[in-house]
A and B are shown apart, each in its own frame.
Chain A
């Protein structure tokens, strides 16, 4: 059957599809999501507007928006009904011939289980504790570099640096490739970034360049680890056997790409949003510093909840199902909006309040639960703990300038943040 081909009548006039909508601020967008949470918890929408593609180009009829926390959790946890493999997990429509599975992100059990297990031991609490020394050292280096720096762009100079370096450390990327690894990680999301190029061709070329780099690096590293095994994810990937077979180089490259997108923009955004919030709320900053070690664990959960760096992921219905008062058909795309769930006042009192002392309510910042729960959640939190400690103690006087925001239906982001560090 052709996926995403069923048309459904609109039941709401609330627009969450247009470029104009996604150009609004996080708070403005949530005004629409709040109305949906209250009036139409499951609703049909036109496909997300693309910079270049028409409906004829991508052939998609639209998507269901699931916006309440409880429903998002249900969809997330019922992978047999809402599949990640069937139509992959990208809400934004693309050319059907270009749809590539993003490794185990776009797989269901049992394949997902096998592939994720290849590297999951690198993400356990104990493994992350072993990585902490490196994370702490890198965080200190990054912040020390900007002490008393005056006017800088915070995202480029601070927030963006640690995540890719940590992914590189986890993979085992050699030090000489670190800078390029970081630069190319940012290029992977260029296709939907109007600043990356004027035309679809230009933006695709940027993405293509980045793909090329990762393919080259993946091949080089795989060969190196075959000869000299080490204690890193690349070694685990070359040694792994799934269904009795070794992974081929394209599997390995796609996994590298997955880690480089998943582990990059997410932590970077949470860092920027959190610093903005803490500078604007000196009382909370003081509260946190009063007893940092005891308070930071709960605090980072709130940082992730508030920032909700991943706005949504999609699933594809494997069967017809009544859900939220609507009839979803097999082959329909279903978007689960974590950023909306994290503002659901059915789950969070005063959801827009940045409250580091909030009781530890399970939030949706790492997903709605189930088998795809963010593998890197522990790494993200370790990075945030290290960065915040350094930023809050070594950069006590930060003056915020005017931020620019990412126009994107996938990542909730701050593109640039001019600051003055005294």
Chain B
């Protein structure tokens, strides 16, 4: 059950890839340096893990948005 969506601020993202180092099944920095988001949905049980990923982004480019 999707409780949250991951949002990427493309203006801030520079493809550093800390997100990919934490969940490479969901985040992939392409060879051109652009972030590819595989499945932006986050469940309630995953929330804490993805909040940590959001916090770990050095460019503050990630956000978790609540889905109604």
Contact = CB atoms under 8 A, between A and B. Distances in A.
B56 interface: yes
B21 interface: yes
A120 B56 contact: no
B18 to A, nearest CB: 8
Contacts of A113: 14
Nearest to B29: A124
A371 B14 contact: yes
Interface in A123-162: 124-127
B65 to A, nearest CB: 21
**Chain A: interface residue count, which band?**
20 to 34
A197 B60 CA distance: 44
B55 A362 contact: yes
Contacts of A366: 58
A373 B59 contact: yes
Contacts of A127: 31
Interface in A185-223: none
A351 interface: no
Interface string B1-34: 0000000000000111110110010001111110
A367 B59 CA distance: 11
B57 to A, nearest CB: 8
A156 B31 CA distance: 35
Interface residues of B, number: 20
A374 to B, nearest CB: 8
Contact of A297 (B17, B21, B30): B21
B15 A120 contact: yes
Contacts of B30: 124, 126
Nearest to A369: B58
A121 interface: yes
Interface string A227-269: 0000000000000000000000000000000000000000000
B43 interface: no
A297 B59 CA distance: 20
27 contacts: A77-B60, A117-B33, A120-B14, A120-B15, A120-B33, A121-B15, A121-B32, A124-B15, A124-B17, A124-B29, A125-B17, A125-B21, A125-B24, A125-B29, A126-B28, A126-B30, A127-B31, A362-B55, A362-B56, A362-B58, A366-B58, A369-B59, A371-B14, A373-B16, A373-B58, A377-B16, A377-B18
Interface of A: 77, 113, 116-117, 120-121, 124-127, 297, 360, 362, 366-367, 369-371, 373, 377-378
- Shortest Cβ-Cβ A-B pairs, 10 listed: A373-B58, A124-B29, A125-B17, A369-B58, A125-B20, A121-B33, A120-B33, A124-B17, A362-B56, A125-B21
